[in-house]
Amino acid sequence: MKRDFSNKHYGGNQAMASFKEMCFTPAEFAAIAKVDRHSISSLEQRGLLKTVKRRMGNVDRKMVTLEDMQNYFRAIREQDLTQGDGATAAGPATPATEDIQSVAAATGFIPGIPKNKIQMFYNVKGGTGKSTLTAQYVMRAVMMGYNVLALDLDGQGHLTVNLDILDAHERPTIYDVLINDLPIHEAVMNVAPGLDLIPANLGLCNIEIPLNNKSRREYRLSEALRKISDRYDLIVADTNPAASILNGSMLVATNLVNVVCATNPLSFHGMTLVMATIEGMEREFDKKLEVKIIPNMYDSREVISQEVLGELQAQFPDNCSRSVINRSADLNEATKRRTTVWDVSSKGTAAHDMNSLTDELLSG
């Protein structure tokens, strides 16, 4: 059934308020930006970083807002750091650009344009933690100043909920775009500065039959995304746990497939079907996909977890990610609070793991 969204006014949902309002201590900013915390005063003096005073208890503390963190990363990314003479693409070197270069050179951390613009998190098995990692990944990319579109392709809407959207049943989804010909930009909602979302709801569970009856069904999603891709640095989809037509459409559209595999026997057993599905799509559409297998929920205290990780690395040496996501209460707490692991504990294991994974997936 075609729904009319032309006069719909959404309200009552403070989308991702905790994320938008996040502030970071100098130590937290330094850890995320990979700079010496003692260089922050210099960055402020150079006009490269702004800080604010926030009341915490009885003390005014220096903090870095989400927006100021985004602006810092954008300033680094906008510089052409490949020229040895200190000149930039924007013009001659200045004290400010030289300072950006020196900071970036000292840390080795230069967040460039993502190698793979369109990415998907995928597994035909549920319960691997796919939606949780997708949400944390897109929020980390946004913190780094990227403009990101998150695309929820699972009727359960776990990515949507993780991003604190609780009224998705009233909103258009990719179903309305692919089946009812709603212009894709009308399905996009803003969640936070730099983060847009096409949400999902239970109605998306009914997409398979009508999508199967559409002409060029495998290409409809990629053609729709092409219309808005210029707005974003990164497009990330969370897919449903099935070998579905919708997931096949996303495989056609994507540049990078991130397969999340929990380090348990059943999840590992399902990898045969996952890889066979991807290889079948490659043959059918004459397309070579980059595949990254992400070990998740790893517990070094469990022998079985160690064995599964070892098997993943042995059987898929070219695909297994260097980053391993350890089992962590911080990820569960972030999901419960619908916020980031950095808000829960910026120095915790989960934050460290997600920093590593984000850097790896962005760099390819």
Instruction: Let me know: does 321 contact 292? Beta carbons within 8 Å.
Output: yes
Q: Is the dihedral of CA 123, 127, 129, 131 positive or negative?
A: positive
Distance, first Cα to last Cα, the chain: 40
Kindly give, in sequence order, each residue whose CB lies less than 8 Å from that of residue 97, ignoring residues fewer than 6 positions away. 79, 86, 88, 90
Bridge partner residues of 261 (DSSP) = 295
Amino acid symbol at 88: T
Q: What is the 3-state secondary structure (H, E, C) of the chain?
A: CCCCCCCCCCCCCCCCHHHHCCEECHHHHHHHHCCCHHHHHHHHHCCCCCCEEEEECCEEEEEEEHHHHHHHHHHHHCCCCCCCCCCECCECCCHHHHHHHHHHHHHCCCCCCCCCCEEEEECCCCCCCHHHHHHHHHHHHHHCCCCEEEEEECCCCHHHHHCCCCCHHHCCCHHHHHCCCCCHHHHCEEEECCEEEECCCHHHHHCHHHHHCCCCCCCHHHHHHHCCHHHCCEEEEEECCCCCHHHHHHHHHCCEEEEEEECCHHHHHCHHHHHHHHHHHHHHHCCCCEEEEEEECECCCCHHHHHHHHHHHHHCCCCECCCCCECCHHHHHHHHHCCCHHHHCCCCHHHHHHHHHHHHHHHC
**Residue 37 has what pLDDT?**
83
The larger pLDDT score, comparing residue 17 to residue 283, is at 283
Condensed to tens digits (0 to 9), the pLDDT of residues 154-192 reads 999 999 999 999 888 989 999 999 999 999 999 999 999
Q: Alpha-carbon distance 364 to 293, whole Å?
A: 12
pLDDT over 90 at 102, yes or no: no
Among the ranges 77-81, 295-299, 341-345, which has the highest mean pLDDT value? 295-299
Please state, rounded to an integer, the average pLDDT across all residues of the chain: 87
| List of domains in the chain | 17-107 (1.10.1660), 118-363 (3.40.50.300)
**Spatial separation of the C-alpha atoms in residues 267 and 127, rounded to whole Å:** 9
Structure confidence by residue, pLDDT tens digits, 111-147: 677 889 999 999 999 999 999 999 999 999 999 999 9
Q: How confident is the model at residue 98 (pLDDT cuts 50, 70, 90)?
A: low
Token representation of residue 29: 């900013």
pLDDT at 270 over 60: yes
Quick one: pLDDT at residue 95?
A: 47
Alpha-carbon span 75 to 43, nearest angstrom: 12
